[in-house]
Amino acid sequence: MVSLFKKVIPIQGKYLKPFSAKVASITSNREIFCIDCFAGAARYEDEKEGSPLMLATLSDACSQWQVPVTFKIINVEPNLENFLSLESETQSWIQKGIVTNINKKFNEAVPEILSKIGNAPALFFIDPFGPTSVYFSHLLPILRRSQSATELIVNFDTDGLQRIADATQSKSDNPKTVKAISTNIQNVTEIIGRSDWLTKYQSANFSTQDKQKFLLSLYIENLMKFGYAVATYAIREALGKATKYHLIYCTRHNDGIFLMNDFIFEEENSMLSDHFENRMTLFPTSFDDENENRRKELSLLVQSFLKENTKTTRKQIKHNLIFEHFAQFHSKDYRTVVQELIASEKLHASHGKKRINDDESLTYSG
């Protein structure tokens, strides 16, 4: 279980530096917030640092920048034992006014969080055990913030949610079972924030994977209604292992999606590289072959987009492909593929030069 969280945290840590630098520049006081809504004890039993300490260290780094950022952290943890550990581990940052810890459940803490952060840019990190402690209604006040620099990273237990949904499918007249079914239906509905999942779930002949995809897609659709671009990444312990969680990233800015795409790609690529190094791979190809195949695949996708959109820019190409193929291709791959199409004279830049930037207007001649 823990190792999955360890996979999420480095991604979040890497992402947070450019996020902080960028969003601080739109404020007058260079103050931004990260809210660790399911903070934990700040240190794992094996003594490794949990997310609150990782964030506090990051805050120290931001304060040392040439143009410093005040990176404030609010941690939420209802379990008293964890909370006391959290308080003691973050003591020095509490004294500096950087960390505030709230000893409540996330949903009960939302009003206090929102009043503390005011209209400041904020990133909410939502990392619960299982799917049932975050109802969609808990997120509404956050999703409705007028501050456009509001982002969410949710560690979403797709596997757990599908198990609850499956438990609604048994047939029984036993009053206890009937009650349990009704509770499970209610739970799924509250988590994804809509009730229209049930009929299709009952009638469609879904595989386990399809069921998870279906529930996840309804959840994403709901998040998007609030003006967010939403990208998801399947978290696995290693290549070839089943997906248990999805990292769901919500932003209102395209640049955020591009940044997160690259960081997650790098994580995925290092998993692939480990696989080859450990000779555990079942793939008949080498790491370099994988890289080449990936670029060929992207080139085909880009060309099929270009056939429908003969006048475009590199940014538009990326934006059109990045959601469906999140973290499958790095920005460098997009650059290389577009450059190759220009070199082979299938694509032409308006200024006639070979080197282009993201917004250069491009024409496809096939």
Proportion of the chain in helix, strand, coil states, percent, rounded to 5: 50, 15, 35
Long-range CB pairs of 15-23, under 8 A, 24+ apart, other chains included: 15/153, 15/259, 15/260, 15/263, 16/55, 16/58, 16/123, 17/58, 17/61, 17/62, 18/259, 19/123, 19/151, 19/256, 19/259, 20/58, 20/62, 20/69, 20/71, 21/65, 21/69, 22/255, 23/121, 23/149
Q: How far is the CB of 153 from ligand SAM (least distance, A)?
A: 11
Choosing from 10, 13, 18, 78, the residue that interacts with ligand SAM (CB under 6 A) is 78
Choosing from 10, 13, 18, 128, the residue that interacts with ligand SAM (CB under 6 A) is 128
β pairing state of 311-312 and 70-76: unpaired
Q: How far is the CB of 40 from ligand SAM (least distance, A)?
A: 3
Q: What is the dihedral of CA 338, 340, 342, 346, to 10 degrees?
A: -100
Q: Binding of ligand SAM at residue 105 (CB under 6 A)?
A: yes
- Of the candidate spans 123-131, 239-247, 304-312, 314-322, the one that interacts with ligand SAM by CB under 6 A turns out to be 123-131
Residues 21-50 that bind ligand SAM (CB under 6 A): 38-40, 50
Comparing CB distances to ligand SAM, the nearer of 133 and 309 is 133
- Of the candidate spans 57-65, 124-132, 289-297, 307-315, the one that interacts with ligand SAM by CB under 6 A turns out to be 124-132
Q: Closest CB to ligand SAM belongs to which residue?
A: 50
- Of the candidate spans 72-80, 171-179, 202-210, 349-357, the one that interacts with ligand SAM by CB under 6 A turns out to be 72-80
Reading the block at residue 230, the tokens are 């939403």
Comparing CB distances to ligand SAM, the nearer of 38 and 329 is 38
Comparing CB distances to ligand SAM, the nearer of 18 and 78 is 78
- Of the candidate spans 63-71, 121-129, 243-251, 343-351, the one that interacts with ligand SAM by CB under 6 A turns out to be 121-129
Q: How far is the CB of 164 from ligand SAM (least distance, A)?
A: 16
Reading the block at residue 340, the tokens are 């190759």
The amino acid that residue 86 corresponds to is L
Segment (H or E) for 230: strand 229-235
Radius of gyration of the chain measured on its C-alpha atoms: 22
Judge contact between 101 and 87, C-beta under 8 A.
yes
Enumerate the β-bridge partners of residue 182.
none
Q: How far is the CB of 156 from ligand SAM (least distance, A)?
A: 12
Comparing CB distances to ligand SAM, the nearer of 105 and 252 is 105
Which stretches of the chain bind ligand SAM, using CB under 6 A? Answer: 5, 9, 38-40, 50-51, 76-79, 82, 105-106, 127-129, 133
